[in-house]
């Protein structure tokens, strides 16, 4: 942190401005995921989201395990002290009100001194400088930990108290506007998801190409005509369309073999797992690799162009992907089904029908069995009912869907850029605030050095006060607890 500060400011270690308390340790056997008499809720790292506290997914523990200092008060800053993720450790959120609860063992509380503006500290802990210091200080091999001594190495540009309050007032006004923008923008992904689902529903029910059919009455006939007519029609599609089971259209439906773990390697053939298709797109940016012997039974699951891949176990069951470009050497895991069609010309439309939320996906979800780890078998996949138009209409549907999805992708890209801009603007505003450029200085303000001296004096007298209180069997007052 720069030492080129405005008049009246000082650099102060974070631990000189805040008292830190460790979270509550508890046994899982003592905890409850539901409220109980004599229990209090605790916050954990998962309750810190986008610099704010969330009060869902709580755990309740016996109130007797919680000390007075561990109860969350207005102005306290919850901080993640330990995590396997560098993005999680050090993240913070400030309590804007007293809360009847505490915080867990892998978290801590930074409690600003009563003669420091707590919101000033809370905003400082959102700066890029703070995050970079955390990355530097808390880095570990497997677990990233923040230690007490680390807070002495984080320097806070510290203005006089009246200026702290002016800065906070300005920040609250500006950042509230940015937060409002973010909340409005956050609706865009939800709207885009609904838009894509509506497009698929319209595409696979014939509504998307009503005008096209009016102009193309002499379109070519249906493919594999002899496969149709055996299923009852529930007419959510045009009269020209016909229904069939997916099984009549395929030459192969299979899934990966078990026991692939012994073939994992640093390089070799690509091994496609469920996580590679969890967004209905084949994503091979971070693939796993296998080295297979020529005699391996799993060779039957080698992926080809135009194959359809379907997740058949786990939380993302029914998620699918179409292989749209040549993959040199790739195989599917046991959690992925491989569907190969007799006529690859229909593969694009069949894929759309399988991922349409009110068509194939609805059927597959209804067929998935098992609650903890839902799954599909290969007969479930063969049984999916699909309504097929003529080949020329299929191609027109695919063209229109791609065109509309490309438009949605453009909006999504602009949304991402807007969110990046807001994040950068927030950091720019915070940087100006902590350089003393957001509000004017007042030479009549008591300098920060005098304020720091008062905090040091309060800290020096505190141990004696606490000793007397323990001897008298009384607790320190809330005001004394707030002075470090």
Q: What is the pLDDT of residues 339-350, one digit of tens each?
A: 999 999 999 999
Alpha-carbon distance values, 172 to 9, 36, 180 (Å): 21, 37, 12
pTM over 0.75: yes
The DSSP string of 18-50 is EEEEE-B---GGG-BSS--TTEEEEE-GGGEET
Q: Which pair of tokens denotes residue 347?
A: 């593969």
CB 246 within 8 A of CB 383: yes
Task: Work out the pLDDT band at 71, boundaries 50, 70, 90.
Answer: very high
Contacts by residues 55-63 (CB-CB < 8 Å, ≥ 24 positions apart): 58/33, 58/101, 59/31, 59/32, 59/33, 59/104, 60/31, 60/32, 60/33, 60/34, 60/35, 60/36, 61/24, 61/26, 61/30, 61/31, 61/32, 61/102, 62/26, 62/30, 62/38, 63/38, 63/39
For the beta carbon of residue 336, count every other beta carbon within 10 angstroms.
26
| pLDDT above 50: residue 250 | yes
Kindly state the average pLDDT of the residues 368-385. 88
Whether residue 44 contacts residue 54, with contact meaning beta carbons closer than 8 Å, is answered with no
Confidence of residue 207 (pLDDT cuts 50, 70, 90): very high
| DSSP secondary structure code for residue 368 in this structure | -
Q: What are phi and psi of 302, to 5 degrees?
A: -70, 130
SS3 380: helix
State the first-to-last Cα distance of the chain, in angstroms, to the nearest integer: 23
- How does pLDDT run across 87-146, given as a tens digit for each residue? 899 999 999 999 999 999 999 999 999 999 999 999 999 999 999 999 899 877 677 888
Residue 244 pLDDT greater than 50, yes or no? yes
Q: Which of 117-126, 170-179, 463-472 has the lowest mean pLDDT?
A: 463-472
* Residue spans of alpha helices (H) in 186-272: 187-205, 210-215
> How confident is the model over 305-332, as pLDDT tens digits?
999 999 999 889 999 999 999 988 899 9
**270: helix, coil or strand?**
strand
| Contact between residue 290 and residue 301 where contact means Cβ atoms under 8 Å apart | no
Q: Contact 80/101 with Cβ under 8 angstroms? A: no
User: For the purposes of burial, counting CB atoms within 10 Å of the CB of 178, is it exposed (0-12), middle (13-18) or buried (19 or more)?
Assistant: middle
Beta partners for residue 270, in sequence order = 289, 330
| Nearest residue to 202 (alpha-carbon basis) of 357, 70, 327, 62 | 357
Measured in residues, the chain has a length of: 484
Question: For residue 3, is pLDDT > 70?
Answer: no
Residues sharing a CB contact under 8 Å with residue 290, sequence separation 6 or more, in sequence order: 260, 263, 264, 265, 268, 269, 271, 331
CA distance 277 to 333: 12
**pLDDT at 474 > cutoff 50:** no
């Amino acid at each position: 942190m720069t030492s080129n500060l405005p008049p009246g400011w000082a650099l102060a270690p974070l631990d000189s401005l805040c008292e830190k308390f460790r979270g509550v340790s508890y046994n899982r056997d003592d905890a409850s995921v539901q409220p109980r008499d004599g229990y209090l809720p605790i916050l954990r790292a998962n309750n810190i989201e986008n610099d704010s506290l969330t009060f869902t997914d709580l755990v309740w523990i016996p109130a007797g395990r919680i000390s007075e200092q561990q109860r969350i008060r207005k102005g306290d800053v919850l901080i993640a002290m330990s995590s396997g993720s560098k993005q999680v450790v050090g993240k913070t959120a400030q309590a804007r009100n007293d809360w009847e609860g505490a915080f867990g063992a892998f978290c801590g509380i930074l409690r600003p001194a009563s003669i420091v503006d707590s919101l000033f500290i809370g905003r400082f802990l959102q700066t890029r400088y703070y995050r970079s210091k955390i990355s530097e200080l808390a880095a570990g091999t497997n677990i990233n930990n923040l230690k007490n001594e680390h807070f002495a190495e984080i320097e806070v540009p510290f203005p006089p108290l009246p200026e702290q309050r002016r800065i906070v007032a300005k920040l609250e006004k500006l950042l509230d506007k940015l937060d409002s923008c973010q909340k409005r923008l956050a609706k865009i992904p939800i709207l885009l998801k609904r838009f894509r689902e509506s497009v698929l529903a319209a595409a696979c029910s014939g509504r998307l190409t009503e005008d096209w059919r009016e102009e193309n009455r002499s379109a070519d006939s249906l493919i594999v005509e002899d496969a149709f007519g055996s299923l009852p029609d529930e007419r959510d599609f045009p009269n020209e369309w016909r229904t069939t089971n997916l099984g009549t259209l395929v030459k192969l439906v299979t899934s990966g073999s078990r026991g692939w773990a012994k073939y994992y390697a640093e390089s070799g053939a690509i091994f496609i797992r469920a996580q590679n298709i969890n967004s209905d797109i084949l994503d091979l940016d971070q693939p796993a690799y296998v080295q297979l012997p020529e005699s391996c039974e799993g060779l039957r699951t080698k992926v080809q162009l135009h194959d359809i891949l379907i997740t058949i176990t786990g939380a993302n069951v029914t998620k699918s992907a179409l292989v749209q470009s040549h993959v040199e050497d790739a195989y599917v895991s046991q959690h992925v089904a491989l569907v190969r069609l007799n006529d690859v010309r229909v593969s694009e439309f069949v894929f759309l029908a399988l991922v349409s939320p009110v068509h194939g996906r609805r059927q597959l979800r209804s067929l998935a069995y098992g609650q903890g780890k839902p799954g599909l078998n290969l007969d479930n996949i063969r049984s999916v009912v699909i309504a097929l138009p003529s080949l020329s209409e299929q191609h027109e549907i695919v063209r229109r869907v791609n065109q509309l999805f490309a438009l949605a992708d453009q909006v999504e890209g602009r949304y991402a850029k807007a969110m990046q801009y807001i994040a950068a603007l927030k950091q720019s505003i915070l940087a100006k605030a902590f350089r003393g450029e957001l509000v004017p200085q007042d030479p009549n303000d008591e300098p920060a050095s005098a304020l720091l001296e008062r905090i040091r004096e309060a800290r020096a007298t505190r141990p004696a006060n606490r000793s007397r209180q323990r001897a008298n069997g009384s607790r320190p007052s809330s005001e004394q607890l707030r002075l470090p």
